[in-house]
Structure 1
Amino acid sequence: MAAIPFIGRLHPYEYFALVASFLIAFLELIVRTITLLLPTPIIRIFYRLSRNAFNSLSSPYSRRARNRRKNVSSPLAQAHDFVELCEQYGYLAEEHVVQTKDGFLLGVHRLAWRRGEEDQRVNNGPASIQKKVVYLHHGLMMNSEVWVCITEKERCLPFLLVEQGYDVWLGNNRGNKYSKKSLHHGPTDTQFWNFSMDQFAFHDIPDSINYILSATHQPSLSYIGFSQGTAQAFATLSIHPALNNKVDVFVALAPAMAPPGIASGVVSSLVKSNPQVLYLLFGRRAILGSTTMWQALLYPGIFTWVIDKSLAFLFGWKMANIAPHQKLAAYPHLYSFTSTKSVVHWFQIIRNGTFQMFDDEVTSPTSFSTGSKYYKVAKFPTRNIKTPIVLVYGGSDSLVDIKIMLKELPRHTVAKCVPKYEHLDLLWASDVDTLVFPHVLEALESYALPSDTKGQALGWQTRTRPSIFDTAGVTPNGTAPPGYSEDEPARNHGMPHTPAFEYERPSTAEEQMDESDNDDDDYADDSPSSPDGPVAFTPSAFAHSSRPPISDARAADISIHNTARRTRQAPASNAGASRQRTATVTTAQPNQQDEDTIHSQTLQNSPDSTGISTSADTDRTVVRSRPEGWWSSTSSSVVSLVEPASPSIPQRIPARQG
């Protein structure tokens, strides 16, 4: 029985869930067809009825609070595109088109100018203003709008980076709102939608990065991804070794690699069943294409309620850290088109528990041979990534298993946990500017190369790029791991690290959308929209962070063996302050029974005048290292958590003898 995949994978109760999913999809098809046949006046009547019903079920206080915030959320929710969203805050956005090697045309957006800099040339030759480049990429079934549909400018990462002096680019996947064109196929053609994450990794990400570097005349950029945007970076950096020299640092927000599973029994049954079942449900073109129709027909409050309930049903998320007015502004921009095949790819990854390429040889439901003994899908070799990686994940994110993820990533990966954060909180939470952004800024300042033109960077290109590895003590007898080059010892200058903090800031967002009686006061009249025009951005808006200065950090220190010191001058802030960081990396010789060495850092820092200190209110920082012989297929890795000590007595763990 187990030899038949469609039957052997499912439990009896999962068959009921599978049948229920077909019934739900069929019911939605009937309702959608009837709705499309109705005349417009009838649809408007139903819209008014739904609005009145929603308002009647809300408390008077909730209605008043919602009306107060309507001038904030409504313009953002009704904005048609990325450029219009940026105009709400007075930023000039450029639109670019990237042609991939397989003929897809991808829309890419650029934010390079602070307010008042629009007449300046940025990264456009030696006479222009030189800025470091940052590339941001969205998640599954999203587009670049999710980064800028924020109700307070201080919580918008692209706007913050622009004000910090970066040249910000935002990419889009093929098939979504801004990339729905190909030189070979139309969007109504099934072949147009025949793509998965493999195509994102082989074409979309590397071609977008190469285009941006060519347009800005820069040798490298920094990459910030969210959700699937991180998975695409993991994949493309692992299969394109040369691309590692073009990415200074990879910051992964809500990283996704091999999710542990789906909370919903209905979706879990689809994950375990044959992929043909998903194609039968949603077709072979765009998945959930009717979402935009329901968004246009439903009253915004009801649409937001439906999204909240759907996310709770699928992933168990409570969405309590995102304010109601932020949901009203962001949910209309949450969905964008993608292929059913890309979702099938994720189901294969979840089912097999490994970050693999798409399995094209799908076993037939009537086949009696699974072929698992003779056939294996290629994995993305993520341990080969050389680019520095900083993971920022939520402590309550059901899609992230950080221990499993760290085992599949190189030893220099740094992980930072934000307690009580779920998946979407890394984008839209009410306190994202104090709990997440400091990690991002610190990673960029620590690893990003100084801005330079290509002509000036020729010397850099002829030299080996500085490595973040400290190879001493890695091998027991002086042998080098695979991929080790002769000049690696000359590249072992210590990289800046981040300390562990014990401070944890509770969430301040409203927990419910309409039942709250006093939470809306927290969002009272700091609206970005005003009669006088866009609100001016001030760096001091980020000075209210409760994070301690680096000099007071309670970091653990494990000492024995090789010590690498490096002093680095960080780029000046907007206020002209400079930061000097001294990093000490100490490595402990592992016991024979230990599987991992623990890396801990002690950093000293003088706070700058802008009030943006490094690292943030997280409960712990995970820094990962591999033991001797870590490249062996038989070795395993264990995540080590370094808890902060008391402020008066630094925590020191003696080295193990053995």
Structure 2
Amino acid sequence: MPMPFVGRLNPAEYLALMLSFALVGFEALIRVMTLALPTSLLSFFYSASRRLFLCYASRPLLAPAAESDCTLSADGDDVISDFPRHDSSYCGASPLAPSAVRDASDFVDLCQLHGYAAEEHVVQTKDGYLLGLHRLAWKKGEEGQRVNDGIDSIHKRVVYLHHGLLMNSEVWVCQTEARRSLPFQLVERGFDVWLGNNRGNKYSKKAVNRSPTDAAFWNFSIDEFAFHDIPDSIAYVLSTTNQSSLSYIGFSQGTAQAFAALSIHPQLNNQVNVFIALAPAMSPAGLSNGIVDALVKASPQVLFLLFGRGSILGSATLWQSILYPPIFVRMVDRGMRFLFNWETRNISESQKLAAYPHLYSYTSTKSVVHWFQIIRNKTFQMYDDDVAAMHMPLAGLQGSASKYTRVARYPTRNIKTPIALVYGGSDSLVDIRVMLRELPDSTVATEVPHYEHLDFLWATDVDQKVFTHVFDALDKFTRLVLDQSVFGPHRHAQQRDLSLANELRSQNKIVTAVNGSKQLVNGSRV
């Protein structure tokens, strides 16, 4: 087997590689030691980290007093929020204590904290994985009523939300305020809200023909998400709700999975009436740290050497359990600044303390390798299994490797579903002009100035800066379906939807942006 690094890395990159191996080895050692330690000793480490924080951490660990929206309580365990008084959109509900959100065990518990009842569903994919789905069908006061379940039930439009890389459905509902949770606001606006989960994560860690302890279980990439997880989840939702189409809202990798799925499943375009992409991801430029970026671009397969062929970063939950929450928050912030140059200033400290413990969920190393293949080749492609081709004797010569090997690209310009992109002006992972070139001409892109990637989930003003665009797109492309009989044939309504979409394509224009946002059509600013 050829060495993937010889002749491809400079001395600084070799040093970074060796340091990476050392850190991964140290982490593995700590993980093994922790598994063998009693709970009392783990509690000791947690208490020790808390004392260290209280004694030695400087005030800038949190926001400066003049700008902070939170302070530590006397015991250092909770954060007491002092939100701006001019904000009138709390709907009478006080913000939750970050510790309550942080300690919630699962999606259902998080919803109950805000007064919502959630359903749990399981769908089996065609290749045997069991995926967890969550449903929010009832606004407050509707609990127990039948929704989209027969002619005499409450009829609602259906919307499906999908999370990003290394996440699960909890990221949508771990806010300290319900007004900043998109699923809660959607259900209050009369939608039947469903949330999906990728294979391998907290809610989808089972298959009928393999065990998560086997490497074969983790042998999946973005391709499997697009081939199976997205279309099979959507089919289940439509079957359960007796609907012929739904609206899709994706975040980060959740948008990439939809781009891929819609491009290779023509029939799926008839089942998705509008695709709203928040912080869209297709072919990121790379990482902000030059050495790490050069390392993974030189050979994405280095991640297999570092993390194996199972799940990646599985010890993240370990660090959450032994570190005092503000220290864990600082570690996550530093990591995101190191890799992506994100400052996370639009997210309050109290929201970080509440949400960061719900940020991580399991996925395969292969799916992350797939992303670095996309970054290296600067194209939204399927997974490249022929790794050896990149290390052929002639691979270093200009064009020699690509002359004989070419990985299939996702034909994203074939997508027929109307697409609305909402991206951050400070998001280092989004190159909107490159993305628009790969999407249909009718695609509309709206910039939210100064927003970074995670702001679309947890920013203090996300309800004002982002939700408006989501609601506008949903009303534009789904209100005609709602006007028809929900349980009868939908062809007439769908034809009217398609006529509206075609009219927008032909006009090639959009309405004036709100909230100071900027919009693009066909790569031109409007």
Are the structure 2 counterparts of residues 494 and 80 from structure 1 closer, same or farther at C-alpha, using a change threshold of 3 Å? same
- The one of 179, 186, 195 equivalent to 2:204 is 179
1:386-397 counterparts in 2 under 5 A? 386-397=416-427
Q: Which residue of 1 aligns with 2:457?
A: 427
Name the residue aligned to 2:5.
6
Q: Which residue of 2 aligns with 1:351?
A: 376
Cα distance 1:455–1:602, how it changes in 2: closer, same or farther (>3 A)? closer
Query: Do residues 68 (structure 1) and 80 (structure 2) align?
Result: yes
| Residue among 486, 496, 503 paired with 1:493 | 503
Query: 2:155–2:486: 8 Å Cα contact kept in structure 1?
Result: no
1:245–1:465 contact (8 Å) kept in structure 2: no
Alpha-carbon distance change, 159 to 369 in structure 1, aligned in 2, over 3 angstroms? same
Q: Is the partner of 2:164 in helix, strand or coil?
A: coil
1:383 correspondence with 2:292: no
> Aligned in 2, Cα 1:50/1:213: closer, same or farther, shift over 3 Å?
same
Residues 623 and 367 (structure 1 numbering): CA distance in 2 closer, same or farther, change over 3 Å? closer
Aligned partner of 2:217 among 192, 201, 215: 192
Q: Alpha-carbon deviation of 1:90?
A: 1.0
Separation in 2 of the partners of 1:600 and 1:366? 47
Number of residue-to-residue matches in the alignment: 492
Counterparts of 2:450 and 2:503, CA distance in 1: 36
Distance in 1 (CA, whole Å) between partners of 2:510 and 2:300 is 46
More helix by share: 2
Match of 2:525 in 1: 641
5 Å-filtered alignment, 1:93-172, equals: 93-172=118-197
Q: Structure 1 residue 322 and structure 2 residue 347: aligned?
A: yes
Q: Which of 508, 515, 520 is equivalent to 1:622?
A: 520
Q: What is the distance in 2 between the residues matched to 1:67 and 1:367?
A: 56
Q: Distance in 1 between matches of 2:364 and 2:302?
A: 15
Q: Distance in 2 between matches of 1:442 and 1:456?
A: 26
Q: Give, in angstroms, the shift of residue 18 of structure 1.
A: 1.5
Cα pair distance change 1:352/1:110, threshold 3 Å: same
Amino acid at match of 1:348: Q
- Does the 8 Å CA contact 1:417/1:620 hold for their aligned counterparts? yes
Q: Greater CA radius of gyration, 1 or 2?
A: 1
Structure 1 residue 466 corresponds to structure 2 residue 475? no
**Structure 2 vs 1, CA of residues 159 and 602 (structure 1 numbering), >3 Å: closer, same or farther?**
closer
The reply to whether residue 450 of structure 1 matches residue 334 of structure 2 is no
| Residue 43 (structure 1) aligns with | 42
| 2-structure distance, mates of 1:375, 1:147 | 40
Residue 307 in 1 paired to residue 321 in 2? Answer: no
Aligned amino acid, residue 641 of structure 1: R
Structure 1 residues 211 and 365, CA gap change in structure 2 (3 angstroms): closer
Does the CA contact (< 8 Å) of 2:296 and 2:302 recur in 1?
A: no
For 1:403 and 1:118, locate their aligned partners in 2 and report how far apart those are by CA, in whole Å: 45
Task: For 1:456, give the aligned amino acid.
Answer: G
Q: Which residue of 2 aligns with 1:405?
A: 435
Give the distance between the partners of 1:387 and 1:8, measured in 2 at CA.
Answer: 45
- CA–CA distance in 2 between the matches of 1:376 and 1:149? 42
Change (3 A) 1:95 1:184: same
CA distance in 2, matches of 1:366, 1:217: 51
Gaps of 5+ in 1: 470-491, 496-563, 565-584, 586-598, 604-614, 625-638, 643-658
Equivalent residue number for residue 574 of structure 1: none
Is the CA contact 1:55–1:63 (under 8 Å) kept in the aligned structure 2?
no
Letter in 2 for 1:89: H
Matched, 1:600 2:509: yes
Please list, as runs of the form range in 1=range in 2, the aligned pairs for 1:561-580 lying within 5 A after superposition. none
CA separation in 2, counterparts of 1:12 and 1:209? Answer: 48
- Which residue of structure 2 lines up, in the alignment, with residue 234 of structure 1? 259
Percent identical pairs in the alignment equals 59
Aligned partner of residue 392 in structure 1, secondary structure: strand
Q: Deviations over 1:255-274 (max 9, x none)?
A: 00000010123431442233
Q: Do the aligned partners of 1:262 and 1:315 also contact (CA within 8 Å) in 2?
A: yes
Deviation, structure 1 residue 640: 1.3
Secondary structure (helix, strand or coil) at the match of 2:115 reads coil
Where does structure 2 lack aligned partners over 5 or more consecutive residues? 66-70, 82-94, 396-400
Q: Deviations over 1:225-270 (max 9, x none)?
A: 0000000000000001111111111000000000001012343144
Structure 2 counterpart SS, 1:421: coil
Q: Is the 8 A contact 1:397 1:421 kept in 2?
A: yes
What amino acid sits opposite 1:21 in the alignment?
A: S
Question: Greater CA deviation, 70-79 or 327-336?
Answer: 70-79
The residue identity in structure 2 corresponding to 1:162 is V
Q: 1:23 Cα shift?
A: 1.6
Q: CA deviation at 1:27?
A: 2.0
SS at match of 2:420: strand
Question: Could you tell me which amino acid in structure 2 is paired with residue 622 of structure 1?
Answer: L
Q: Per-residue CA shift, 1:95-151, capped at 9, x if unaligned?
A: 011110001110000001011111211100111111000000000000000000001
| 1:288-313 CA-partner distances (Å, limit 9, x unpaired) | 11111111111111111111111111
8 A Cα contact 1:218 1:453, kept in partner? no
- Relative distance call for 1:16 and 1:97 in structure 2 (3 A) is same
Following superposition, the deviation at residue 365 of structure 1 comes to 7.9
For residues 338 and 206 of structure 2, the distance between their equivalents in structure 1, rounded to whole angstroms, comes to 33
Aligned CA-pair RMSD: 2.2
Cα distance in 2 between the residues matched to 1:363 and 1:276: 11
Say if 1:5 and 1:49 are closer, same or farther in 2 by CA, change over 3 A: closer
Letter in 1 for 2:72: R
In 1, Cα distance between equivalents of 2:511 and 2:363? 44
Contact 2:12 2:291 in 1 (8 A): no
Q: Is 1:441 aligned to residue 471 of structure 2?
A: yes
| Residues in 1 aligned to 2:349 and 2:139: alpha-carbon distance in whole angstroms | 29
Give the equivalent residue in structure 2 for 1:30.
Answer: 29
Supply the AA of the counterpart residue of 1:18: L
C-alpha separation in 1, matches of 2:410 and 2:195: 24
State the TM-score, normalizing by the size of structure 2: 0.89
Offset at residue 364 of structure 1 (A): 6.7
Question: Residue 35 of structure 1: CA displacement?
Answer: 3.2
Of 307, 318, 331, which aligns to 1:293?
318
Instruction: Name the SS for the 2:247 alignment partner.
Output: strand
- 1:593-612 Cα deviation digits (max 9, x unpaired): xxxxxx43457xxxxxxxxx
Residues 462 and 120 of structure 1: is their aligned pair in 2 closer, same or farther, counting only changes over 3 Å?
Answer: closer
Letter in 2 for 1:460: H
After TM superposition, the score normalised by the length of structure 1 is 0.72
Deviation at 1:49, TM superposition (A): 1.6
Post-superposition offset of 1:14: 1.8
